[in-house]
Amino acid sequence: MTETRHAVSSTWMHIHFKGSRAFTETYGFAGNQGSVNLEAVLLRPEGVPSKTLMVFMHPASTLQLLPVPNEMAALGVHVLCAASRYAKNDSALIMENVIVDLGAHIRHAKEKLGYERVVLAGWSGGGSLSLFYQSQAERPTIEQTPAGDPVDIRGAGLIPADAVVCQAAHLSRAVMLRDMIDPSVVDELDPDAPRTLELDIYHPANPNQPPYSADYVAHYRTAQLARVRRITQRVQETLDHLRKKGTGEVEHGFVTHRTLADPRYLDTALEPNGRRARWCYLGNPETVNTGPVGLARFSMLRSWLSQWSIDHSRADGLQCAAQISVPFLAIENAADDCVPQQHARLLHDACASQDKTMKVIHGATHYYAGQPELLTESTLLIKDWLRSRKLLSD
């Protein structure tokens, strides 16, 4: 079948719903005054009607500038780029609230826009989010956040999607931080104090250099997990202290320094794929390690437990995939410079659906930067998969 490319029209959308919280957690009008205000951009191929909508959402970003949803729309698919209440600022992000926001977008798409079928498109960090949403939409169980604050997932009336696509998606934000955090840090309040040399992979005097031994990698991973858990313990102790005070002071913010030091970025023999050595999706990993866009750079206490704590975050892709029943497509980008090579396969294998598919786009990087032909290949793959399940018609 020859695919026609279409001009794409974009429509800004606003969704408003009541939402009570004990305190304001988002700046400006997005989530205060007893309500939640969400934004979205609807991308529609001109002259192509459809009853199916693909919904892209990332926990902390907006996706209308991403090449993936724009290519989907240009090739004839209706796409919604939905933002959570925490768009472009994940410092206070609560994953349980994000799936409530995603549910509001899906309800609006069905009840106000007239779409009959919804496909969740989980790109990158949107993968575990989509699986978290779908698992709770099919079988809602959550009544409170990991910090113990009430959240009404049952009452939110989440509408299950008709299918889930995970494209260049990782297992979870918590897993990514665990595997990226710099374990050489000794003093969280002074990250420039002397660090543990043997764990500082960017220090030229570190006796451990690529290619790393299996024993060194195991030691390094253990130290990374220990650092995450030390921070989590401090978060829990601080929350407990604030609660015991019984005052209006209920939250603290804190900085986590040096959060991008995954040995895989220096040693491409570790979980090998086609990625470039000493490079990552954000640029030079040594620079990103201390830069402004590192994972979990700034966080509130409750947010840490919900999205970054490996022991508390419920947005775990593997656990959530094991609870969904709808058709599932996992796509691995074989030169991904962000997501580890095995994550797509792990998500596929964990998925409980009887209809699940695993595909690989050879040579594709995380963002398909400078790879328009691979971007189109992945888009047509998704379209064909949806067509074969009668979830998309032309």
pLDDT digits (tens, 9 = 90+) for 26-69: 655 555 567 899 999 999 999 999 999 999 999 999 999 899 99
Residues 261-309 pLDDT 10s:
999 999 999 999 999 999 999 999 999 999 998 899 999 999 999 999 9
Rounded distance between C-alpha atoms, residue 323 and residue 137, angstroms? 10
Residue with tokens 């939110």, as numbered in its chain: 156
CA dist., res. 122 & res. 128, Å (int): 7
User: Which of 347, 368, 366, 358 is closest to 130 using CA atoms?
Assistant: 347
**Do the Cβ atoms of 137 and 96 come closer than 8 Å?**
no
The 8-class DSSP code of residue 369 comes to T
The pTM of the full predicted model, rounded to 2 decimals, is 0.96
Q: How many Å apart are CA 37 and CA 39, to the nearest integer? A: 7
pLDDT at 393: 78
Domains annotated for the chain, with CATH where assigned, are 8-171+314-388 (3.40.50.1820), 176-308 (no CATH)
Closest Cα partner for 217 from 258, 283, 168, 263? Answer: 263
- Residues linked to residue 383 through DSSP beta bridges, in sequence order: none
Whether residue 378 contacts residue 165, with contact meaning beta carbons closer than 8 Å, is answered with: no
What mean pLDDT comes out for the span 170-190? Answer: 97
- The three-class DSSP label of residue 383 is helix
Residue 90: both structure tokens together:
């994940």
State how far the Cα of 308 lies from the Cα of 146, in Å rounded to an integer. Answer: 11
pLDDT tens for 136-163 read 999 999 999 999 999 999 999 999 999 9
Query: What pLDDT is recorded for position 388?
Result: 97
- C-alpha distances (whole Å) from 150 to each of 49, 63, 154, 168, 262 are 41, 29, 11, 32, 35
Q: What is the model's pLDDT at position 22?
A: 62
Distance CA 241, CA 281 (A): 38
Q: What tokens were used for 4? A: 């026609």
Residue 40, strand partner residues = 13, 82
pLDDT at 19: 73
Q: Which two tokens stand for residue 53?
A: 């909508």
Which position has the token pair 């002071």?
249
Altogether, the residues listed in the chain come to a count of 394
